[in-house]
Structure 1
Amino acid sequence: MFLSLDIETYSDVDLTKCGVYAYADSPNFTILLLAYAFGDEETQIVDLACGEQLPREVLDALTDESVIKTAFNAMFERTCLSRYLGIHLSPAFWQCTAVQAAMLALPLSLEGVGEVLNIERKKLKEGGDLVRYFSIPCKPTQTNGGRKRNLPEHAPDKWALFKSYCVRDVDAEREIRQKLRNFPIPDLEMELYRLDQEINDRGILVDRDLVSCAVECDLRYTESATAQAYELTGLNNPNSVAQIKKWLSGRGVEVESLDKKAVKGLMPEVDGEVLEVLKLRLLMAKTSVKKYEAIERSVCSDGRVHGLLQFYGANRTGRWAGRLVQVQNLPQNHLPDLELARNLIKQSRFEDVELLFDSTPGVLSELIRTAFVPRLGTRFIVADFSAIEARVLAWLSGEKWRLNVFSSHGKIYEASASAMFGVPIEEIGKGSSLRQKGKIAELALGYGGSVGALTSMGALDMGLTEEELPSLVNQWRRANPHITKFWWDVDAAAIAAVCEKKETAVGRVGFSYKSGILFVTLPSGRKLPYIKPRMAINKFGREGLTYEGIGESKKWLRIETYGPKLVENIVQATSRDLLALAMLRLRSHGFAIVMHVHDEAVLEVSEGQSSVGEICKIMAEAPGWAAGLPLRADGYECGFYKKD
């Protein structure tokens, strides 16, 4: 039995900036409307704001394990209902239609999915205005009598439409689920969704003292730097790009851009007050206070931030996506004494920070990770897969020399340089130019990248010349013939599956065409979808594969792809599957995961229990389908989150 649900709510907390957990944690949070439907029955609406009560059958169903609760973005309904009812609703008996849609690479919004699937009962377009009217505080005016919130009696016609909007969302979700009935969420992915919800429910503790002090430090530093810039330039607003450009022009310095890269490139060419102003601009641009502010906004009354990760957020590969604080792109930390810097900020000893460290904004940037801390009586154990994408790529393509490297010493940069330049690996030290070339080639060229990829990865900044880059590409490809062949075998197999409507395979990866979708079957059995694939002339001027999906513009459009890009999807998706299974194993051993980032899991472990070695051993267990893949995990313990 399915119970389809949709709710409309009110809170004085900004949902988009703070997330559903902080939104529902507000004392002013409430549920206004609840629309529901059992099975194929007609959708009903409960007007809670006007005094109606939830029917007993709905209340019973919410805790009945035999009833599957379903919604689009079910975490919102489950979290809000848990708060409203004062009980924890387990994710074990919920299904999310948004996840089901994402597994077919459809948009992440109800409206977007409805448009792509062309459902009859699309989301009502008036909904946005109605949500803004009833679900968030309003600005007090003379016209509205100075009220801060709109209630049903303030606009009865709008309220009636709001109820229709809530009902329509249930109807739209049910129609989408019906259209996707031939593509159910696999059991393993359902288990991973539940794990994801458990991790988000658990959340991660925040050092609020550090966060508030960091924000204060940034404010003081910005004021001081702005004052210095004002004194040097005499400008009304030394943060204004237009004013700074004009000021520079008056001193014979013409610039098109003042972004970080442009400023860095300009600094060796200037001196005096111009150099000082550019240094100040660079320092002010480095501040990372927005991350601290995001933590402050998102933290709940339990002192923890919840909802940092979205399951299947990257729907091309199925990887998790970061939300709120965006933990997937936190700055790394390289300070020699991280704990000292952290303590100085917490003690508001900002002058000492400036005295002891090169850059106050740099210190604040590197301390962001450390704002996440384990609860009392525990410590973090952080473990991650070593060079996971490089290992998976070597395994899938059968590049044996690389597999041998990963099964032994693991020095892939040195080994790559040795294979590329014919120099014994023993002669390639950590600081050698050959190792640098091997490293940049490894980082840039695994997915068909060429000179442009090397440049964007910083090859020229590392001292390489433009003339060297083409030969570096060729040397890497010659050293990795199986990987290079794998790209184009995948390209041919995908095209054959689409054009000839037949099943094909390249090693452990399968390709098939069904219901207007190209499916790429990973070694794990999970399928990556490419909707409405067809051949078209691509940017290279030749015929290639295209499909429909969400592009970089976040809009639904036709996207070009080819062998190396497909291989990138396949490798990253397989790496995701390995992390997902590792986290399930960790959970089965009783460990509490509080966060995971890329290929790394962060666990909150009681003092005196377990060890880094045990965690890494569990992580590195290869599943049956990954026989021959040399997995390895490295880890460390810490009293606050950091990059070891």
Structure 2
Amino acid sequence: MGPGDHVFLVDGSSYIFRAYHALPPLTRKSDGLPVGAVSGFCNMLWKLLREGLTPEKGDEPTHFAVIFDASGKSFRNDIYDQYKAHRPEPPEDLRPQFGLIRQAVHAFNVACVEMLGYEADDLIATYARQAREAGAKVTIVASDKDLMQLVGGDVDMFDTMKNKRIGPDEVVEKFGVPPEKVVDVQALAGDSVDNVPGVPGIGVKTAAQLIEEFGDVETLLQNAGTIKQKKRRENLIEFADQARISRKLVELDQNVPVEEGLDDFAVTAVDGVKLVAFLKALEFSTLTRRVAEATDVEGAEVEPTEIAVAGWEAETEAASAEDAAASALSGGSATDGKSDFTPKALSEERIDRIASLKIDTSAYEVVRDAAALQAWVDDAVEQGFVAVDTETTSLDPMVADLVGVSLALAPGRACYVPLQHKAGNGDLLGGGLVEGQIPVEKALEILKPMLEDPAILKIAQNMKYDWLVLARHGALTVSYDDTMLLSYALDAGKGGHGMDELSKRWLGHEPIPYKEVAGSGKNAVTFDMVEIERAAAYAAEDADVTLRLWMILKPRLVAERAATVYETLERPLVPVLARMERRGVSVDRQMLSRLSGDFAQGMAALEAEIHELAGETFNIASPKQLGEILFDKMSLEGGKKTKTGAWGTGAGVLEELAARGHDLPQRVLDWRQLSKLKSTYTDALPGYINAETNRVHTSYSLASTTTGRLSSSEPNLQNIPVRTEEGRKIRCAFVAEKGTKLVSADYSQIELRVLAHMAEIPQLKQAFEDGLDIHAMTASEMFGVPIEGMEPSVRRRAKAINFGIIYGISAFGLAAQLGIPRGEAKDYIDKYFERFPGIRDYMEETKKFARAHGYVETVFGRRAHYPEINTKNPNMRAFQERAAINAPIQGSAADIIRRAMLRMEEALKHSDLGAEMLLQVHDELIFEVPEGEVDKTIPVITEIMEKAALPAVQLKVPLQVDARAADNWNEAH
């Protein structure tokens, strides 16, 4: 060891949690063994050994070692018994990877060092000193701020996750002092992650100012009486011993009696066969191929190493996504390599442990100044994950003002950052801002680097809302988990996924109701009018609960094989939908006004006709009065009374009466349809036009259906009728901006295509392959009539049956839809199953599977649960069976369009096109496209949609997309 040598000291303990939380859960395909952190670590190690810090030559290591924390306590616990006492236990699916990472280091022929009683940082400090004294250059591969005290001279740091060097200038930027003063600043500011107490009320910025003025901690404490600020002076005097203890805790020991010497770290050639054998054992196909090629090893001839993981119980056929993280970075952590994790079930002990932790809302901190907020952010960066929640003035993120932000780092350790709370002055408008709040711009300046840092995992409940609110303030959140979507991917159909319900279900805790804080009814106020202390208890509790839920739900992904659905269909869709909502769509206000007038006239005409048919005037909107007319006065058959004693007049009742040829029920249905269109759309839509954008911004919910279909609200744009003339008129009001066109791209009969794939129906598969009219083909098969010259009514009946079968339509339902006798409808259904027996087989097999497992799956692995499918209630059981039959079909179609949406923006950008995705309505996507790019854009959209299932699933029938451009939505559809 001497001048010219370059020592790489990799802090194996500083990367693993950051990488683990920032990467998708990855598993070994053969048995479900969690290997995501191992994969990332191996890729990092290979890159460093092959390229050094850069692809250019001259920066490679001559000596290389990976340093780990040893299990157990260190000498610092003898100094302060609460040191690191609050650190949460590692996730269960991470535990079996600790030992594997150490095995990986040995497989790379790299030194692996740890020592009882000392932390990895102390070993690194000792080796860095030895190398520096020998004249060698040292690179500490880490991002840990505690190691920054070692930087200087020939010692620097390198953060592989950010691809960033850390030298003296970066240390000053971080702490406000040079490296040699870092321990003094840390001693005063403390470190809540490691439970280093510091001095209350002093953050990093203040500590840096004090050290700059007095030189070091001891000189400061001896002269504390000269400090002008009263509270600061009193705290420095009262907590002087605490500051001295803190300094001992944060100062690294550079004289550890290490056993291995620097010469033991000399880089040796990689044993290609040994490394390939290890990588093959973990099924890292991409890295295995790279290593084999680089070391001239014939990978196919190498047998995998036998790898045993203590405490691991194998589960076969678990999903693996190793290749998706082939370039990820990760590291190790303290453990003895043993694990009690198995993929068969989530540890009940873990749930009980988290649920048993008391929630004390009085213990949360109110962060009122920038220094305190920076300290929380620093701890979040150090830890690698943080729960985040926003408080605003509105449920609409496009108009909401940001009132405050809450953060949580560990169960019970949460804070609220008030930003725009107003003083009350006796009215709802309030007065000026309350004192003791951080200006919004300053708070966002501190929060933004963390929110936009891909190495820091942000945890939220319904992240899409927070994403939009923060995006409007210039912060684009990346790297996140969403507890709502975690629950949805795991438990769709088992209950709601809202935070309050999840909290009661998993934590046995009922959070503070919003109305208890902000009032309800006439007494309700917006959140900016809530007193800060009350707001803090409510808001910080939300972040705390969200973090606890995440600690319970996240490990279940791997254990219950839901990782692929969450990582490929749920989590990545959040920003896609958020951007769509933010773009909005333009509507013609004047056209809506004209339509409202037209509908009002139509309703008046129908009202007059209804009254004439009834022989008297009555309130058509009153179910009670309508029932009396139909069943008391007119004595129509089929009436049934509700529990209140009134006649039932729901749509089903009226449709059955209309099918029997009664005019009045049909006119009432027509009147109700116009009334609904008028009130829900033509009257209401203008009120949704955003004053700033002059566009309508709907909100999409990812977790409101059992099958994975998205729903739209505020306003709901998915229920505008497309088969009625009036509904199509409303779609005409959705228009393209000047210089653009609206493009509607709609999957053709996608659910029937999915059915043909899943149920293996030869006739349907062949018809789709040949591009035939599927409804005409069905009619020909069923009724024995030629396709050529077929009567439209015959095709219409086949179409109704085709789609009705998917939804489990009954003879009664089909009869009402086609206006035919129930017996005839039953004959149609029976004949359909005779011609296509595979469909009945599919239905029976699906019901059998659902009864046995309590769920069904889409072709992409999404599970829809039906826990009541074995109920003894025949009506409920029949309903659950119909839903279970439909769910794999509808859910697979929903997953396909989700996959298309996830790829669409990048595809359009790659093709240098300016098209923007605006709306998703069931099987249809709507885009706003520059007028001159329509011809180039439509083929790109069509290709992405038609190939959306690939490569995950090769459908046995082709997907077809119809895409058109026009000036409004109706003409484009």
Report if TM-score (shorter chain) is over 0.5: yes
Say which of 539, 544, 547 aligns to 2:874. Answer: 539
Partner secondary structure for residue 609 of structure 1: helix
Alpha-carbon distance, 1:531 to partner: 7.5
- Take 1:259 and 1:565, find their aligned partners in 2: how far apart are those partners? 22
Q: Which residue of 2 aligns with 1:168?
A: 541
Alpha-carbon distance, 1:241 to partner: 5.2
Query: What is the one-letter code of the residue matched to 2:865?
Result: Y
Q: Which residues of 2 match residues 358-369 of structure 1 at below 5 A?
A: 362=726, 365-369=727-731
- Between 1 and 2, higher relative CO (CA 8 Å, sep ≥ 6) is seen in 1
Alpha-carbon distance, 1:406 to partner: 0.8
Alpha-carbon distance, 1:615 to partner: 3.1
Is the Cα–Cα contact under 8 Å of residues 72 and 98 in structure 1 kept in the other structure? yes
Evaluate the alpha carbon distance shift between residue 425 and residue 182 of structure 1 in structure 2; reply closer, same or farther with a 3 A threshold.
farther
Say which of 590, 594, 613 aligns to 1:209. Answer: 590
CA RMSD of aligned residues (A): 3.9
Alpha-carbon distance, 1:90 to partner: 2.4
Is the Cα–Cα contact under 8 Å of residues 390 and 406 in structure 2 kept in the other structure? yes
Q: Which residue of 2 aligns with 1:618?
A: 944
Q: Which residue of 1 aligns with 2:519?
A: 132
Q: Which residue of 2 aligns with 1:550?
A: none
Is the Cα–Cα contact under 8 Å of residues 503 and 549 in structure 2 kept in the other structure? yes
Q: Which residue of 2 aligns with 1:480?
A: 836
Q: Which residues of 2 match residues 73-222 of structure 1 at below 5 A?
A: 73-83=462-472, 86-87=473-474, 89-104=475-490, 105=492, 106-117=495-506, 119-125=507-513, 127-132=514-519, 138=523, 160-184=533-557, 186-189=566-569, 190-215=571-596, 218=599
Is the Cα–Cα contact under 8 Å of residues 313 and 320 in structure 1 kept in the other structure? yes
Q: Which residue of 2 aligns with 1:357?
A: none
Alpha-carbon distance, 1:295 to partner: 2.1
Evaluate the alpha carbon distance shift between residue 128 and residue 250 of structure 1 in structure 2; reply closer, same or farther with a 3 A threshold.
closer
1:320 aligns with 2:710: yes
Partner secondary structure for residue 631 of structure 1: coil
Evaluate the alpha carbon distance shift between residue 393 and residue 585 of structure 1 in structure 2; reply closer, same or farther with a 3 A threshold.
same
Evaluate the alpha carbon distance shift between residue 77 and residue 228 of structure 1 in structure 2; reply closer, same or farther with a 3 A threshold.
same
Is the Cα–Cα contact under 8 Å of residues 406 and 412 in structure 1 kept in the other structure? yes
Q: Which residue of 1 aligns with 2:98?
A: none
Q: Which residue of 1 aligns with 2:825?
A: 469
Say which of 405, 420, 437 aligns to 2:767. Answer: 405
Equivalent residues, number: 538
- Take 2:868 and 2:632, find their aligned partners in 1: how far apart are those partners? 55
Q: Which residue of 2 aligns with 1:454?
A: 814
1:46 aligns with 2:417: yes
Alpha-carbon distance, 1:207 to partner: 1.9
1:4 aligns with 2:387: yes
Q: Which residue of 1 aligns with 2:151?
A: none
- Take 1:424 and 1:220, find their aligned partners in 2: how far apart are those partners? 44
Alpha-carbon distance, 1:465 to partner: 2.0
1:491 aligns with 2:844: no
1:527 aligns with 2:869: no
- Take 1:429 and 1:128, find their aligned partners in 2: how far apart are those partners? 61
CA offsets 1:530-584 (integer angstroms, 9 cap, x no match): 376885535179xx8xxxxxxxxxxxxxx9744x543311111111122122223
User: For the pair shown, which has the larger CA radius of gyration, 1 or 2?
Assistant: 2
Say which of 300, 303, 306 aligns to 2:694. Answer: 303
Q: Which residue of 2 aligns with 1:354?
A: none
Moved more, 166-175 or 199-208: 199-208
1:20 aligns with 2:403: no
- Take 2:869 and 2:651, find their aligned partners in 1: how far apart are those partners? 41
5+ residue gaps in structure 1? 140-147, 336-361, 499-517, 545-558
- Take 1:287 and 1:533, find their aligned partners in 2: how far apart are those partners? 35
Is the Cα–Cα contact under 8 Å of residues 538 and 560 in structure 1 kept in the other structure? no
Q: Which residue of 2 aligns with 1:442?
A: 802
Alpha-carbon distance, 1:169 to partner: 1.0
Is the Cα–Cα contact under 8 Å of residues 230 and 237 in structure 1 kept in the other structure? no
Query: What is the one-letter code of the residue matched to 1:580?
Result: R
Q: Which residue of 1 aligns with 2:679?
A: 289
Evaluate the alpha carbon distance shift between residue 400 and residue 239 of structure 1 in structure 2; reply closer, same or farther with a 3 A threshold.
closer
What TM-score, normalized to structure 2? 0.50
Q: Which residues of 2 match residues 546-561 of structure 1 at below 5 A?
A: 561=880
Alpha-carbon distance, 1:164 to partner: 1.0
Say which of 585, 594, 599 aligns to 2:903. Answer: 585
Q: Which residue of 2 aligns with 1:339?
A: none
Q: Which residue of 1 aligns with 2:792?
A: 431
Moved more, 296-305 or 233-242: 233-242
Evaluate the alpha carbon distance shift between residue 65 and residue 294 of structure 1 in structure 2; reply closer, same or farther with a 3 A threshold.
farther
Alpha-carbon distance, 1:96 to partner: 2.2
Alpha-carbon distance, 1:438 to partner: 2.1
Query: What is the one-letter code of the residue matched to 1:440?
Result: A
Evaluate the alpha carbon distance shift between residue 131 and residue 82 of structure 1 in structure 2; reply closer, same or farther with a 3 A threshold.
farther
Query: What is the one-letter code of the residue matched to 1:578?
Result: I
Q: Which residue of 1 aligns with 2:970?
A: 642
Evaluate the alpha carbon distance shift between residue 137 and residue 76 of structure 1 in structure 2; reply closer, same or farther with a 3 A threshold.
farther
Q: Which residue of 2 aligns with 1:503?
A: none
Evaluate the alpha carbon distance shift between residue 284 and residue 304 of structure 1 in structure 2; reply closer, same or farther with a 3 A threshold.
closer
Evaluate the alpha carbon distance shift between residue 368 and residue 38 of structure 1 in structure 2; reply closer, same or farther with a 3 A threshold.
same
Query: What is the one-letter code of the residue matched to 1:631?
Result: L
Alpha-carbon distance, 1:162 to partner: 3.3
Q: Which residue of 1 aligns with 2:931?
A: 607
Is the Cα–Cα contact under 8 Å of residues 812 and 825 in structure 2 kept in the other structure? no
Evaluate the alpha carbon distance shift between residue 115 and residue 293 of structure 1 in structure 2; reply closer, same or farther with a 3 A threshold.
farther
Q: Which residue of 1 aligns with 2:51?
A: none
- Take 1:581 and 1:236, find their aligned partners in 2: how far apart are those partners? 51
- Take 2:680 and 2:457, find their aligned partners in 1: how far apart are those partners? 39
Evaluate the alpha carbon distance shift between residue 411 and residue 162 of structure 1 in structure 2; reply closer, same or farther with a 3 A threshold.
same
Alpha-carbon distance, 1:600 to partner: 0.8
Q: Which residue of 2 aligns with 1:549?
A: none
Alpha-carbon distance, 1:60 to partner: 3.6
Partner secondary structure for residue 970 of structure 2: coil
Query: What is the one-letter code of the residue matched to 1:620?
Result: E
- Take 2:884 and 2:620, find their aligned partners in 1: how far apart are those partners? 47
- Take 1:533 and 1:230, find their aligned partners in 2: how far apart are those partners? 45
Alpha-carbon distance, 1:428 to partner: 6.2
Q: Which residues of 2 match residues 271-282 of structure 1 at below 5 A?
A: none
Is the Cα–Cα contact under 8 Å of residues 486 and 554 in structure 2 kept in the other structure? no
Evaluate the alpha carbon distance shift between residue 121 and residue 399 of structure 1 in structure 2; reply closer, same or farther with a 3 A threshold.
same
Partner secondary structure for residue 123 of structure 1: coil
Alpha-carbon distance, 1:230 to partner: 9.4
What TM-score, normalized to structure 1? 0.73
Q: Identity of paired residues, percent?
A: 20
Evaluate the alpha carbon distance shift between residue 58 and residue 239 of structure 1 in structure 2; reply closer, same or farther with a 3 A threshold.
closer
Partner secondary structure for residue 7 of structure 1: strand
- Take 2:662 and 2:793, find their aligned partners in 1: how far apart are those partners? 31
Q: Which residue of 1 aligns with 2:888?
A: 570
